[in-house]
Chain A
Amino acid sequence: GDSVTQMEGPVTLSEEAFLTINCTYTATGYPSLFWYVQYPGEGLQLLLKATKADDKGSNKGFEATYRKETTSFHLEKGSVQVSDSAVYFCALSTGANSKLTFGKGITLSVRP
């Protein structure tokens, strides 16, 4: 079945550091890929998405490229801010079963 694997956390960075959060997937067919962000005490918000191979999703300085050859969708940001402290979820959808499959999430803490 479909699955999403995220790197183990938590991750703690200093402000302005470079961020990479790894995400790999297993899926039947050609999935769409998503990154969601959950700020403390809130629900999940869609951060960015990519619907086909080699697409790059971007939003709020975050980027992720859909790599079919390595089945990966790593999230990157060049310079993190304290306000980026949150839980980040990678997810995929093949559309076939009407459901998104989520990774376990990773907590990012950015210190001033």
Chain B
Amino acid sequence: NAGVTQTPKFRILKIGQSMTLQCTQDMNHNYMYWYRQDPGMGLKLIYYSVGAGITDKGEVPNGYNVSRSTTEDFPLRLELAAPSQTSVYFCASSYSAGREDGYTFGSGTRLTVV
């Protein structure tokens, strides 16, 4: 059982480039989330989804887009990368809203924008 898988693990982007961070889960979880983690700042929610075809903004959605065409996949798109998007990105999933069992996290993507 792989859990939540994120690719790539590391990436360096130039300012203005775009990329997609991939996230897939094999637990048949309805809910999926994208967070960014900056040093000393904890986790900030970017976007989340409560099921296929449904997405919503979190605290810091600007500069990002998501889609949820299947239950398994929840890719995060960065358009026109900026240095402020240098961060570690985590994808997570949960069966319900997280109240009973919390979230399962992926191992993260470390992104540097130069």
Contacts and interface: CB of A to CB of B under 8 A. Distances in A.
Nearest to B108: A43
Query: What does DSSP make chain A's interface, helix, strand, loop or mixed?
Result: loop
A36 to B, nearest CB: 7
Given A98-B31, A102-B43, A103-B42, A32 B107 contact: no
B102 A49 contact: yes
A32 B42 contact: no
B43 A98 contact: no
Nearest to A43: B105
B27 to A, nearest CB: 13
Interface in B73-108: 90, 92, 96-108
Interface in A81-112: 89, 91, 93-100, 102-105
Interface in B16-74: 31, 33, 40-43, 45, 48, 50, 58
B98 A98 contact: yes
A45 interface: yes
Contacts of A98: 31, 48, 50, 97-98
B58 to A, nearest CB: 7
Query: What does DSSP make chain B's interface, helix, strand, loop or mixed?
Result: loop
A93 B105 CA distance: 16
A66 B100 CA distance: 14
Given A98-B48, A104-B41, A43 B90 contact: yes
A32 B99 contact: yes
B60 to A, nearest CB: 13
A42 interface: yes
Contacts of B48: 98-99
B98 A100 contact: yes
A51 B100 contact: yes
A46 interface: yes
A22 to B, nearest CB: 15
Contacts of A17: none
Minimum-distance CB pairs A-B, first 3: A95-B99, A104-B42, A43-B105
